[in-house]
Structures are given as C-alpha cells and as structure tokens.
Amino acid sequence: MAKTKTKYVCQSCGYESPRWMGRCPGCSNWNTLVEEIERKTKTNRPSTGLTSRKPIKITSIESQEEPRILTSLKEFNRVLGGGIVHGSLVLIGGDPGIGKSTLLLQISSQLAEQQLPVLYISGEESTRQTKLRADRLNVSSDLLYVLAETNLFDIANHIEELKPSLVIVDSIQTIYKDEVTSAPGSVSQVRECTSELMRIAKTNHIPIFIVGHVTKEGAIAGPRVLEHMVDTVLYFEGERHHTYRILRSVKNRFGSTNEMGIFEMKEEGLKEVMNPSEIFLEERSKGAAGSTVVASMEGTRPVLVEIQALISPTSFGNPRRMATGVDYNRIPLLMAVLEKRVGLMLQNQDAYVKVAGGVKLDEPAIDLAISVSIASSFRNQPTRPDDIFIGEVGLTGEVRRVSRIEQRVQEAAKLGFKRVICPQKNIDGWTLPETIEIIGVNTVQEALNIGLHR
C-alpha cells in the first residue's frame, strides 16, 4: 500500500521542509511554503543488474547534422540558432498579454502550411476561444489541431495517437498530473509535468514548446530547475503600450545565447523587423546634448542604439542616479571615472540615463557611449549626429578593446554614419573600410576631445 508523507514546498525556489516556516531558507521569501502530500510507492525493480542501455564510446557515435524545422519568420529561426530542433523542449516566458500565444499560433499555422501536423494544446482557453484568435490572425489549416485539455495523461495519449511534428502547450502552469496531489501551477506539478513532456519530446523526437508564466520580478514562475530542464529558454519582452516586441534567447543548447529578434505587433499578428537599428534611431533628435549612438552586439547581430543622458543640479542632499535599459551600478562607476580622470564635478548633479527604444544592454562595450552622453549633457555640448562610440572604460580612464569590432563598424557604415570612435587597440589586425572614418582613442579624455563640439 502506498505511503503518504506531508511536506512543505516553496513555490518560488522549490525548497522542501518537513514543517511549515514563515520564511523560506532557500530564497528568503515570506509565506511561500505550501503543504503538499507526497506518495511513495515501493518498486519491485532490482537496484542492480543489467540495464537496457549500455555506455558506448564517443568515438563510435556517428556525427551527423540533423535538418531543422524552418518557419517563415527568419527572426524566430535565428533566435533558435537556425530553426527548430527535432526532439527539443523550448520554454517561452513573458508578461501577460505580450503576445506569446499570438507568436506560437502564427508559427503553428506556418508549419501546418508546410504539410507538417501541429498540435496546439490550450489549458487556458476553449477551442472556440482559440478559433476566435485564429480568425483574427487569418490562421486556417486542416493540419493544425487544437486541444483544450489540462490532464497530462490525456495529452500524452493524444500526442501518441496523432504523432504531430510540433506540440505547443499553453501554458505549463495549467497542466496537472494525477499522481501529484498538489494543485496545478505548484512547484511539484510544474516540475513533474515538464519532466514528462521532456520524456515525450526525446522519445518521440517531437519538438515541444511550453509557455511559462512570469512573476512580478519578471522571472518564470516556479523553481529555477524548470529552466535547467529545458533545452532552450526564450523571453518575450516589450511594453504592452508599444508595438515592438523583443524575443531574447537566454539559454540555448543548440545555438548562440543572448540572441535577439525584433517583431512588430499589428492587427494581423506579429511581423518581423529585419533592420532593428533603423527602428531604434528613427526618432533620434539631431544636435541634442546628451545623445550618443553605440553599436552593441546582441548575440551574433550588431544593433545601433541611442543612449540618452540628462544631467541637472540636484535639489536634494544626495544626488539621484537613475538608469533605464542599462545596469544601475554602471552609472555611478562611470561618473566617478569622469570626475576623477576628466575633472567633471558631478557629485552634486542628478543623473538620468536611458537606452531609447526599450532595449536592454549589458555588455561593457557601451561604457564609452554612456560616458560621452553624461559629459555631453553636463557641458551642454552635443555630439556629431554621424558619430558612433564603442569601447569599455576602465577605472583609470583608459578605453579598452571590445570584441567583433568589424561587425559593429559594418553596421554603422551601412546606416550612413561617418565616424567611429573606438579603442586604439581595435584598429590593428583587420582591413579598415573606406566608407567610414575610424578614430582610435586610448582614454576617455581623448574621446571627449574628439566627440564633443566646442
């Protein structure tokens, strides 16, 4: 007879405790431990003996490149590393209403038009509600099957019977397994259902996309183990009141991480943006102090983004420092370098730094552009509208080399920029283009002398 055991599981990190506690020792969150009943059954399988699978030498395994499933959205294919891999488990997270279901329904329609059967499992909507959204997106295909089901056992039977080329589960928080006594959406249910879907994907060689809800902090709901179990983790970002959406890859076992795809939300669905640099720079003010352009690498793609800074005298005892789109701790660091190495008195100034367009940048190559923006706003001296600033800034005021300078310069030349101010160490070792001027600098002071108008 099965034995029952009561335990308390944290809904944020998955920490298990035999008794209830107000604060989770794992993640230090309050009131996140929920009582669950765990059933343990005895198994007659011996602990030792021969298994069905034996270890083999890696040299005896034939290496072959399997073809991927390509969609009509090239941006989506590039974020995944070249297309959908057979037997992969992909997790897509994002804020409510951002467009996750719209994107997956469009992909389902595109694959169904390629004569590939697709099973769309909706645990939050009925089949009629899914049909209403499909009509709005002009989605209609005989090979697109819709299933409104939340029981994992029935879902597995339908997958085994239909044998589709792609399975979409929207969302994982609504699916439950009978053997787990906790409610759907709990840590135990999400973990067990994801593990079962992973087994189905690997054994049947079927790619499965699962949608995950996000918490108030922006992380995927449930324990971090959910992201470790899947092959690829995609985040759908963007403001609900703006039309542009960013699909970002934060984990990918079959491609490059930190890839980014840009989409535009329209009435008929999501449309891919092939040249995002033009989108980010189309509303830039010419001749405004505190505005610079940087060439940032998002995965394998160079993207030109405008960085804006506003420096104003503070009216408080402690000056304010605010950052949008960049790390907050980077702003006080760069301001300290400007004050110590350049001589700008910024200790009594409020500083506001923003990356225009809603994109988030986290690479060190944007340091020089941020520093020039702050100095430009403080001195009220604008930069040339056709200048690009690239470089990492050290604590001694030096400008350090960055990676992939060739791709950054080519993107700047393609959009009509005339000068690139970059580290001196990056000039050697490659052929400089003739259509754009490359200026090497060693310190931030040199970059300010070249970039700011007198």
* Residue 327, C-beta contacts closer than 8 angstroms, at least 6 positions apart: 362
**Cis bond upstream, residue 52 (ω within 30):** no
Look-up: residue for tokens 């897509």?
A: 92
Name the token pair of 271: 């449309």
User: Which residues are part of a known binding site for ATP?
Assistant: 94-101
User: Phi and psi of 270, rounded to 5°?
Assistant: -90, 135
H or E element, residue 397: none
- Which is nearest to 422 in space by CA: 254, 336, 302? 302
H or E element, residue 109: helix 100-113
Q: Which amino acid is at 362?
A: D
Look-up: residue for tokens 């939340």?
A: 150
Q: By the 8 A CB rule, do 237 and 196 touch?
A: no
User: Which residues are part of a known binding site?
Assistant: 94-101
Q: How far is CA 324 from CA 292, 353, 354, 440, in A?
A: 15, 6, 5, 29
User: Phi and psi of 237, rounded to 5°?
Assistant: -115, 165
* Residue 279, C-beta contacts closer than 8 angstroms, at least 6 positions apart: 244, 262, 273, 357
The C-alpha atoms of residue 453 and residue 434 are separated, in whole angstroms, by 24
The C-alpha atoms of residue 242 and residue 358 are separated, in whole angstroms, by 9
The b/e string for 252-290 (b: 16+ C-beta within 10 A; e otherwise) is bebbeebbbbbbebeeebbebbeebbebbbeeeeeeebb
Sheet holding 419-423, edge to edge: 387-389, 419-423, 437-441
* Residue 84, C-beta contacts closer than 8 angstroms, at least 6 positions apart: 68, 69, 70, 71, 90, 166, 207
Q: Which amino acid is at 156?
A: A
User: Phi and psi of 311, rounded to 5°?
Assistant: -115, 125
The C-alpha atoms of residue 187 and residue 12 are separated, in whole angstroms, by 8
State the helix-helix crossing angle for 367-379 and 330-337, rounded to 10 degrees.
60
Q: Where are the beta strands (DSSP E) in 164-212?
A: 166-170, 208-212
